[in-house]
Amino acid sequence: MKKTILALFALAAVAVAPEIATAQNQGTAMTQNANFNKKQARRAMRQAENEAVIARVTNAVKTQQFSFIATELTTSGIAALSNIPLNQLWSVRVAPQTLYVYLPIYGTGGPLGQPSIFNRLDFNTSSFTYNVQTLRNGNMSVHIKATDTSNSRNYTLTFEITPNGDNSTLSMESSFSGPVTFTGNVNYNM
């Protein structure tokens, strides 16, 4: 009798086992589907945030309302230096009517804790031309010809701005100093 009851329980367990397994598989599938949906939602949110940043950077550059914060400097020529880290003080701010430049340049003397072969370039001017082009790789090229009216020196600043503004470059040339290239980030919140 005990064997018969145990056999009946075994048969019932075998008959119910596929239904339990199916329910467990459905629960696992629903959990995996929910996780997949959460990942898709996070990915879509990151994509939307990236697109919003790209739109802000593009608008800021096209309307001449951005700052370039230099984080690294490279020079060329006889005394070439590369990848010199800079503090957050060095920048170029572009506004529709005025260009503000505060950058280290190749020269003599040494400002505020920077290498002694650099001098400070510190001026603002309303005498500049501004030209923007979109490049094939999605970056924007900004070409500025500016004159420091206090000493009549001319500068050519060429930015290559990445879509999100990070790791952009600025190449600067003048008649009195060697060419300097800066790596930095574009700030569009002015």
Q: What is the pLDDT of residue 110?
A: 40
The answer to pTM > 0.95 is no
- Its sign, for the CA torsion 147, 132, 177, 101, is positive
Q: Are 102 and 122 in contact, with CB atoms under 8 Å apart?
A: yes
Same-domain check for residues 40 and 57: yes
Same-domain check for residues 58 and 99: no
- Write the pLDDT tens digit of every residue in 60-84: 999 999 999 999 988 765 555 677 8
Residue with tokens 């230099």: 70
Q: Counting every residue, how long is the chain?
A: 190
Cα separation, 177 vs 187, whole angstroms: 27
Q: Are 179 and 173 in contact, with CB atoms under 8 Å apart?
A: yes
Domain span at residue 51 reads 1-62
Q: What is the pLDDT of residue 37?
A: 78
**Residues of the chain predicted below pLDDT 50:** 8, 11, 108-116
From 19, 46, 62, the end of a domain falls on 62
Same-domain check for residues 156 and 91: yes
C-alpha separations of 154 from 92, 122, 128, 157, 179 in Å: 15, 13, 9, 10, 13
Q: What is the pLDDT of residue 115?
A: 44
Same-domain check for residues 14 and 82: no
Counting the structural domains of the chain, the total is 2
Cα separation, 182 vs 45, whole angstroms: 32
186 burial (CB, 10 Å; 0-12 / 13-18 / 19+) is buried
